[in-house]
Structures are given as structure tokens and as C-alpha cells.
Amino acid sequence: MWRTFKSWLPPAWQAIPEVPEALWRRTLAHYPFLSCLDEPDRQRLKSLSAAFLAEKEFHGAHGLAVTDEMALAIAAQACRPLLGMRGTDGRHRPHPLQALAWYDDFVGIVVQPGAALARRRVTDTSGVVHSYTEALAGEAMDRGPVMLSWEDVAQAGTLAERGTNVVIHEFVHKIDMRGMRLGEHPDGAPPLFAGFMGCATVLDATERWRRTMQEAYASFREALSMAERFGGEPPWLDDYAAKDPAEFFAVTCEAYFVNPQRFEQAFPALRALYDAFFNA
């Protein structure tokens, strides 16, 4: 009942619990792409993380005990995309509790010790059903929980050189899913707002977004195909980005936040697009 009541209070009345300073500093030291933020952004991220921890519930799978340090590491990385974002109503840099509205369709976060094995069934264009097992480092479900592999979360500091971050990947999926109808699938085009990159209407903004993303996605897939066929230099990012537009959005956002310099070299058009969306 307290959670429901609290949601109706004005933001200024909603106390955000303090994150112990020593624990916060250890978290920043472990993830250089967070520690490199300037002091005002680090403090805002700290507030966002504290609010996130107050709203979400962590569950360890297979006997894993989720410690405060683990929960804060996940919270800080999950909140990194929200750091400069407009609120869901289009307002600029909202109160932390309002910014977290991007993640308001779920409460639970399931933390696996390592990759989770999921059984998949797909039907090809000929109508043949294929069953297989897929190893997952993370998964975000529309209106459902987020699953994360702690092994991958813990390695995020070193994996940043490769542009990889499982927490950001899954929480960007949540942003992409915002406003979807039940049964729909994310498509790599999150909700936009009038004025985005000078666009007069939401429709114009969405058309610009889709056009820019489609060009970058097609270019990535072509580079990947050329590397596979002729042994050329493979693209920098994980080839999982070629799966579909939603995965391309999530994978490129990983790189955008954890290795922006290398990302800009590979995707200059997306750098401008993401700067405008995330207000980076």
C-alpha cells in the first residue's frame, strides 16, 4: 500500500534514501564509464540509482544472494540512459522519480549467476517449427521483469572497450517498449516528442528516427555480410545487432554509453540521433 500511496505524492514530498558514500565510490571505481561523468551528473545518477533501488525488487536465482553492492551496480547502469532524458511527458530533466517513469511497467529484476538457458520455438517461412536452446545474458519482457546475468554485469567495466553492456541493453529495450500495445514487439523506435531534432511534429520526428536508423542498420548488415563472405574487417559491434532493428537499437546504445568515442567513429549519424534523444 505504501508504494501505491507514494506514487501519488508530489516529487518534492517523496524522500529518496541515501546511498552510502563509500559504496557509491566503489561502484564508480568499478565502472569507468560511470566514474568519467562530471560531478553534477554523478550526483544526479546517485539520486536516480537510490530512487531505482527504492522502487525495484531484486531476486537472486539458483541460490544467488543479491548484495547491496550488486543491486547498486545494476541500478547505476540501468539509470545511466535516464541521466539527461526528458520525462515520458516530454519535459526536460525531470525529478529522478519522474525520470524513472520510463521503467514503470515492472518491479522485479531477476539476477542469474551466469547466462540463463531458454528454450525457443520459431516457425520459418515454410511453416517448419524449429526448437533450440539459447544462452541469455539478459532479457527484458514487456510489462514484465528484467533478467540479468551477474557474471556479465560484473564484467561490464572491462567489456566497455568492446562497447558491451548487458544492463544498458536490457533497459534500453524497456525504453523501446514504452507505449507498446499488448502483443506488439519492440522495433527500435522509442517514443519521441515534437521538437526532436527540429521536427515540428511527433510524426516527423518518428519518420526521421526510422530513416536514420534504417540507413545505419542496413550499412551494418552489409559490412557484416562483406566480412563473412570475403574475410574483410568485421564491424566493431557484436553481430547480434544484425538480428533486427530492436536489437540494433539496444546494441548500439550499449556502445553509445560505455565507449562513446569509438561509437562516434563507427556511427556518426547515430551519435547525433542519440544525443538528441538522451540529451547527452
Q: Kindly state whether residues 31 and 95 are assigned to the same domain.
A: yes
Q: Kindly state whether residues 9 and 108 are assigned to the same domain.
A: yes
- Report the C-alpha gap between 96 and 221 in whole angstroms: 37
3-state secondary structure 94-115: CCHHHHHHHHCCCCEEEEECCC
| Residue 181, in any domain of the structure | no
Give the pLDDT score at 39: 96
Q: Kindly state whether residues 131 and 198 are assigned to the same domain.
A: no
Q: Kindly state whether residues 145 and 198 are assigned to the same domain.
A: no
Give the pLDDT score at 179: 84
Q: Kindly state whether residues 59 and 99 are assigned to the same domain.
A: yes
Give the pLDDT score at 2: 38
CATH number at residue 256: 3.40.390.10
Q: Kindly state whether residues 29 and 155 are assigned to the same domain.
A: yes
- Report the C-alpha gap between 150 and 74 in whole angstroms: 9
- Report the C-alpha gap between 75 and 56 in whole angstroms: 9
Give the pLDDT score at 199: 96
Report, as ranges of residue numbers, the positions in the chain whose pLDDT lies below 50.
1-13
Q: Kindly state whether residues 140 and 265 are assigned to the same domain.
A: no
Pure H helices in the chain:
2-7, 21-30, 32-35, 39-55, 68-79, 96-99, 150-154, 156-159, 166-177, 202-230, 245-258, 260-266, 268-278
Count structural domains, the chain.
2
Burial class (CB in 10 A: 0-12, 13-18, 19+), 212: middle
Residue-wise pLDDT for 214-253, tens only, equals 999 999 999 999 999 988 788 899 999 999 999 999 999 9
Q: Which domain holds residue 237?
A: 187-280
